[in-house]
Structure 1
Amino acid sequence: MNKGIAFEHQSGPGPAVVFIHGWTCCRNHWRAQLQHLAGRHETLAMDLPGHGDSAPDDRQEWSMGGFARDVVELLGKLDSQQAILVGHSMGGTVALEAAAMAPERVMGVVLADTFLINYGAMDEATINGFYEPFAEDFAAAVGDLVNNTTGPKASEALKARIAQGMAAADPSWALPAWAALLRWDPSESFANYAGPIHAINCPLIPGATRERLAPYMSETIIPDTGHFLNQEAPDAFNQALDKAITRIAERHPNG
């Protein structure tokens, strides 16, 4: 584990909820959710290595499994023995990997728009099509990503804030992590984690992708949102999150 990982932890009752941000994002993207759950749940939000306030350390491989091992080790900071993992975008892939590594510690997984990209079902040309713009002009590609995936009600100020934060990432680790993410395949995680998985999605995820994933998870769609739905529509997202937490907790009455 990277000893320089930054995180914030709040004790509380109920199932512990661990928040994992997306690629080149940070724990502050969960601010509305942390405030919403304060006093009702134990919470932990982390900055993955290289992200936010966490040092990139000296790792040679930037993989979803590597990030997941950081998450699993950080579960030791919780008061609770089990937790619900909530991951946005890449954070969802990390949550699934962590759940498969330590299923005894994970009550359930909530994916926040993780499969906007159809991981595990893309050919090399498609993967390269996603990767190359970031290798050519990182900041411009980040700006395009945010503009093209946010929903119709996202303010210009929110889009600018997200894009500016993401574009500040160091490409020396961000690009290898992006390449690893694009080649990530969920099949092993689905095979090794039998707990409940619930997706809270925006309407942009293609129907064919949702149909492919339906056997593995339940789903809530929040209308008029985009990829950063937990920030674009925090009240609607928080309501969906409450329902997902309750549904997962009901399957683990002693969690």
Structure 2
Amino acid sequence: MTADIVPGADGVQLAREQRGSAPRYLLLVHGWCCNSQFWAPQAEALADTCTTVTVDLGGHGNSRNTRQRWDLSSFAEDVAAAAQGLDGPIVLAGHSMGGAVAMLAASKLGERLRGVILGDTFSFDWGHVAEDLQTGYLAAIDSDLPAMVANLVDGVAPADPDPLLQQWLKREMARPDPQVAVPAFASLLNFDADAALAALPGTLPIHAINCPQAHPAPRERYADRISESVLDDTGHFLQLEKPAEFAAAMREQSVRMFVGG
């Protein structure tokens, strides 16, 4: 494993790690209030066939929070920065908010991009959330982030959650500054997936690996553009709840994308 620092949006320092040595890259993007450790099982498991790259988005994990913009666009710039120096084909994979960020970053990678994998990105019908719900979510984040993420983690858990994983998720997701978390979630609530998809080539493969509870509206809306597989008996954090099964699904899709490209 090699670790380095790269300048992201507005020059903020980003922590990046690479595993493997193959001349093709799987760039893993974490979700809201998460960090690169949320991809740890897949970063290790898939490094035998490609170089896996993880990055802490600005304001998350070991990256700095020395900027003013905390929205999907700035995070997409962070992902593009993390792709600097990756001299070969790239598949982007994003979990939750990271999927929205990956969809926006995809247009910045040019001919290197081979496909996008979304990990339960549409747990909400982003861009279609009622105003009163948006106001309530943002107020809860601003007033008590640990309590809000605890409720969120419990609410998106599988039927039989692992107590230790639940504790870890709640602890890690409470780490970011609310000054980062609030505008980031506000931007996610208003994510325009239609515009993001319109900016990408119609032939670019996009595949969603979802839990059974993924929101039905976007699944139906984008069924003709985003292929889907469902990982049974999982909740929102499926890459940690069933890491081996999720890695196997990612391996299948990324190999198909690299070969197809």
Q: Same fold (TM over 0.5)?
A: yes
Provide the residue aligned with 2:175 in structure 1: 168
Give the TM-score taking structure 1 as reference length.
0.93
Provide the residue aligned with 1:197 in structure 2: 206
- Local SS of the residue matching 1:115: coil
Alignment of 1:179-218 (within 5 A): 179-194=186-201, 195-218=204-227
Alignment of 1:24-43 (within 5 A): 24-43=33-52
Give the TM-score taking structure 2 as reference length.
0.91
Which runs of 5 or more structure 2 residues have no equivalent in the other structure?
A: 1-7
User: Are 1:13 and 1:41, in contact at CA under 8 Å, matched by a contact in 2?
Assistant: yes
Instruction: Return the match for 1:102 from 75, 98, 109.
Output: 109
Aligned equivalents of 1:14, 1:229: Cα separation in 2: 28
The one-letter code matched in structure 1 to 2:126 is Y
Provide the residue aligned with 2:31 in structure 1: 22
Which runs of 5 or more structure 1 residues have no equivalent in the other structure?
A: none
Aligned equivalents of 2:215, 2:232: Cα separation in 1: 14
Aligned equivalents of 2:163, 2:97: Cα separation in 1: 23
User: Are 2:208 and 2:226, in contact at CA under 8 Å, matched by a contact in 1?
Assistant: yes
The one-letter code matched in structure 2 to 1:66 is S
- Local SS of the residue matching 2:122: helix
Provide the residue aligned with 2:150 in structure 1: 143
- Local SS of the residue matching 1:116: coil
Alignment of 1:1-255 (within 5 A): 1=8, 2-13=11-22, 15-58=24-67, 60-80=68-88, 82-194=89-201, 195-252=204-261
User: Are 2:94 and 2:101, in contact at CA under 8 Å, matched by a contact in 1?
Assistant: yes
User: Are 1:127 and 1:183, in contact at CA under 8 Å, matched by a contact in 2?
Assistant: no
Aligned equivalents of 2:23, 2:208: Cα separation in 1: 21
The one-letter code matched in structure 2 to 1:196 is P
Percent identity between matched residues is 36
Structure having the higher helix fraction is 1
Runs of 4+ in 1 over 6 A off after TM superposition: none
Aligned equivalents of 1:27, 1:175: Cα separation in 2: 20
Aligned equivalents of 2:161, 2:258: Cα separation in 1: 32
Residues 247, 153 of structure 1: alpha-carbon distance in 2 compared, 3 angstrom cutoff: farther
User: Are 2:213 and 2:235, in contact at CA under 8 Å, matched by a contact in 1?
Assistant: yes
The one-letter code matched in structure 1 to 2:251 is D
- 1:3 shift after superposition: 4.4
- Local SS of the residue matching 2:235: coil
Q: Which moved more, 1:108-117 or 1:185-194?
A: 185-194
Aligned equivalents of 1:117, 1:234: Cα separation in 2: 22
RMSD of Structure 2 on Structure 1 (CA): 1.5
State the aligned residue count: 250
The one-letter code matched in structure 2 to 1:101 is K
1:170-200 CA distance string (max 9 Å, x none): 1111111111111111111100112110000
- Local SS of the residue matching 2:214: coil
- Local SS of the residue matching 2:83: helix
- 1:32 shift after superposition: 0.6
User: Are 2:124 and 2:215, in contact at CA under 8 Å, matched by a contact in 1?
Assistant: no
- 1:238 shift after superposition: 1.0
